[in-house]
Amino acid sequence: MDRTFVMVKPDGVARGLIGEVISRLEGKGLKLVAARFERLTEKKVLEQYREHIEKPFFPSLRHFIESGPCFLMVWEGRDAVRVVRRMVGATNPGDAEPGTIRGDLAMDTGRNVIHASDSPASAEREIAIHFNPGEIVTYKRADESALYE
């Protein structure tokens, strides 16, 4: 099984959307294997968003992510990165399809509720930023035989 990193951003936390996000991902059949409620340090924000540091929007993104607590998660499932990215929707909620998390729950690119890894390599890097291997649990969902061939 593959793993991916997902983060409910401060706007999603403030709006009480953690449960909605978890419910959608669990309902799809993904397995939550690690979670933490945390206010990210400057160091973690710089590591998390290192590919954006030189972009003009980075200072406001950094300020926003550091402005409140985030809910950090690791999800597991077949092709987890691709599946979660499709469920999350386009970065700009105005372009996100109805039925996606951003399409249903967000209005603005700067407050788009959720971050999800965009590739297996990013997932591996982002998981390592936020979780030690011992914090990721292994278990079998009761419905796994109904989810996968």
Q: Would you name the residues annotated as active-site residues? A: 115
The Cβ-side half-sphere exposure at 6, using a 13 Å CA radius, reads 33
Q: DSSP readout, 41-101?
A: PHHHHHHHTGGGTTSTTHHHHHHHHHTS-EEEEEEEETTHHHHHHHHH--SSTTTSPTTSH
Q: Could you tell me the two tokens for 22? A: 């978890």
As a whole number of angstroms, the distance between CA 112 and CA 10 comes to 10
